[in-house]
Amino acid sequence: MKHLGRIAATAAIALGALAGTAQAQQSTVDAVKAKGFVQCGVNTGLAGFSAPDSQGVWKGLDVDMCRGVAAAVFGDASKVRYTGLTAQQRFTALQSGEVDILARNTTWTLQRDTSLGLDFVAVNFYDGQGFMVKNSLNVKSAKELNGATVCVQPGTTTELNLADYFRANRMQFKPVVIEKMEEVVAAYLAGRCDAYTTDMSGLASTRSAQGANASQHLILPDVISKEPLGPAVRHGDNKWADIVRWTFNVMVEAEEMGLTSANIDSKMNDPNPGIQRLVGKTGDMGKQLGLENNWSYNIIKQVGNYGESYERNIKPIGLERGVNELWSKGGIMYAPPVR
């Protein structure tokens, strides 16, 4: 009888512990506030988007997205922890709750938006897929790549576009598919492949990382796909999705209004009602998002506007603004009104 009692008690405790994990989904913003930081899923190392610098501090356009959210939620852009994810790990990491935001140069597609259990909330970089080859190969266009061996990362839209492009043009190719970016780039550099394919931004980033040897590599002019890259959150948590979406929109709107991290303090008393709202003097936008009313001020002050982030991160890898310029300056970067 004593034994039986002990077994029953153990079973009850075990089941109780299991039941504890089955609690209803907690709202992400409450969970984030409770733990005191934003857990952000980023690329393991893509210069310009997310890569640790020589001091181990994460820098990049995607990293600024996470810092912006931390500034909005905590008023402190440094309250972010980063999880480096490979292309194959990223969606599972977000689905399982390992990260709160996935800001990892991820392409927004219908299939990902619907069946992966996540929601894309913004596009922070308009990209397209291209090819990089060695100059010595004497290739000037992607159309000349028939029969080539192409290095590519698995589990990406890139891998699918590559197959589509060669099928559409009735050309043959052999893929070399390696998951880790460092390894796949190493295989390309060692001559295992004739071409390396990824988004144009990724190619520019990889090329610039070659330092003095950068000029030995040529990025072909053909852009074979649309790749709108943006942050994603878990499906169904609209409150959190709103915060991430409007954090990005504030960064774009600030650029439109000429507000920068440097001049925002001097514009605190600017009579422009749009600026008054953005610095938190009027309106209750913060409250509507469930945040402090100076949330947008904190984003601009601590992270800067979209243009600043672009200048700081993407320019150094050799990419001009292009289509990522503001709509008012000939690009397509356009934020809904922040009001």
Partner 1 sequence: MASIPRSSRRPAPPAVRLSLSDPFVRSIVYQILVVGGVALIIWYLVSNTMTNMEARKIASGFDFLNREAGFAISEHSIDYSPADTYFRALVVGVLNTLLIAVLGIVLATILGTVIGIGRLAKNWLIAKVCSVYVEVMRNLPLAVQLFFWYAMIIENLPGPRQAISPLPGVFLSSRGIMVPVPGDDPAYGWMLIACLIGVVATLLISRWARARQAATGQQFPMMRAAAGLILGLPLLAWLAGGAPTTLDWPELRGFNFQGGGSMSPEFAALLLGLVTYTAAFIAEIVRSGILAVSHGQTEAASALGLRRSLNLRLVVLPQALRVIIPPMISQYLNITKNSSLAVLIGYPDIVSIANTALNQTGQAIEGIAIIMLVYLTVSLSIAVFGNWYNKRLALVER
Binding residues (CB under 8 A) for partner 1: these are: 1, 4, 7-8, 11, 14-15, 18, 21-22, 25, 87-88, 91-92, 95, 111-112, 114-117, 145-149, 154-155, 159-160, 162-164, 166-167, 173-180, 183-184, 186-187, 190-192, 194, 234-236
Q: Dihedrals φ, ψ of 63, to 5°?
A: -65, -40
Tokens of 184: 């796949």
Phi then psi dihedrals of residue 119, to 5 deg: -125, 130
User: CA-based angle 17:23:29, to the nearest 5?
Assistant: 125
Pick from 34, 37, 56, 35: which is nearest to 45 by CA?
A: 56
Q: 218 has which bridge partners? A: 133
We find the least distance from the C-beta atom of residue 113 to partner 1, in angstroms, to be 10
Q: Residue 334 carries which DSSP code?
A: -
Q: Which is nearer to partner 1, 217 or 234 (CB)?
A: 234
Q: What angle do CA 104, 125, 79 make, to 5 degrees?
A: 50
CB-based contact 157:107 (threshold 8 Å): yes
Task: Pick between residue 67 and residue 234 the one whose CB is nearest to partner 1.
Answer: 234
CB closer to partner 1 out of 189 and 326: 189
Q: Report phi then psi at 326, rounded to 5.
A: -60, 150
Question: C-beta of 120: minimal distance to partner 1 in Å?
Answer: 14
Give the shortest CB-235-to-partner 1 separation in angstroms: 5
Total residues found in the chain within this entry: 339
Q: How far is the CB of 103 from partner 1 (least distance, A)?
A: 18
CB of 121 to partner 1, least distance (A): 15
Q: Report d(CA 124, CA 227) in Å as an integer.
A: 11
Q: Which residue number, 153 or 293, has a Cβ lying nearer to partner 1?
A: 153
Give whichever of 177 and 326 is closer to partner 1, judged by the CB atom.
177
Strand 217-219 vs strand 148-152: parallel, antiparallel, or unpaired? unpaired
314: helix, strand or coil:
coil
Could you write out the DSSP letters of every residue in 187-242? HHHTTS-SEEEEEHHHHHHHHHTTGGGGGGEEE-S---S-EEE--EEETT-HHHHH
CB of 179 to partner 1, least distance (A): 6
CB closer to partner 1, 24 vs 55: 24
CB atoms < 10 A from the CB of 327, how many?
12
Name the amino acid, one letter, at 168. Answer: A
Q: Distance between CA atoms of 248 and 307, rounded to whole angstroms? A: 12
Least separation in angstroms between CB 244 and partner 1: 17
> What's the closest the beta carbon of residue 49 comes to partner 1, in angstroms?
19
Q: Which is nearer to partner 1, 175 or 283 (CB)?
A: 175
Nearer to partner 1, 160 or 219 (CB): 160
